């Protein structure tokens, strides 16, 4: 039986969230959930530990970094894979991402083909 991976997408831009969700439907092993705010993400994370979180940094309410801090506090460092997807391309945020041990730091817009490849790689899902 095929293993299912839970992916939490935390993205407040509706069109981008829809595009990512549609893109991830192409990976049968992935079940995707979506929240549009940092607070909603934390509420979801209270009861569900995703295998992967795709995280925007600029969110209404809690920032992406605050959501990441919550995940580490609740589940432990490195227990949830994290792909940051942000428009913030500055070196300071990339450095914070490295220090926070995020698995990938992507600058939006990210083409669907690249999203598929990176999610598969991060979750170690083969394409065969």
Alpha-carbon gap, residue 4 to 30, rounded angstroms: 6
Q: What is the pLDDT of residues 24-39, one digit of tens each?
A: 999 999 999 999 999 9
Q: Is the dihedral of CA 76, 17, 103, 37 positive or negative?
A: negative
pTM > 0.85: yes
Positions in the chain short of pLDDT 50: none
Is the distance from CB of 56 to CB of 107 less than 8 angstroms? no
**How high is the pLDDT of residue 128?**
60
3-state SS, one letter per residue, for 62-116? CCHHHHHHHHHHHHCCCCCEEEEEECCCCHHHHHHHHHCCCCEEEECCCCHHHHH
**How high is the pLDDT of residue 97?**
76
């Amino acid at each position: 039986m095929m293993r299912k991976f839970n992916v939490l997408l935390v993205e407040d831009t509706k069109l981008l969230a829809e595009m990512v969700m549609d893109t991830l439907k192409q990976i049968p092993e992935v079940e995707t959930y979506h929240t549009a705010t940092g607070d909603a993400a934390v509420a979801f994370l209270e009861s569900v530990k995703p295998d992967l979180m795709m995280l925007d940094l600029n969110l209404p309410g809690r920032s992406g970094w605050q959501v990441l801090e919550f995940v580490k506090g609740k589940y432990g460092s490195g227990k949830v894979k994290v792909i940051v997807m942000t428009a913030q391309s500055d070196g300071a945020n990339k450095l914070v991402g490295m220090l926070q041990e995020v698995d990938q730091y992507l600058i939006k817009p990210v083409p669907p083909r690249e999203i598929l490849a990176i999610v598969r790689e991060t979750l170690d899902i083969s394409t065969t």
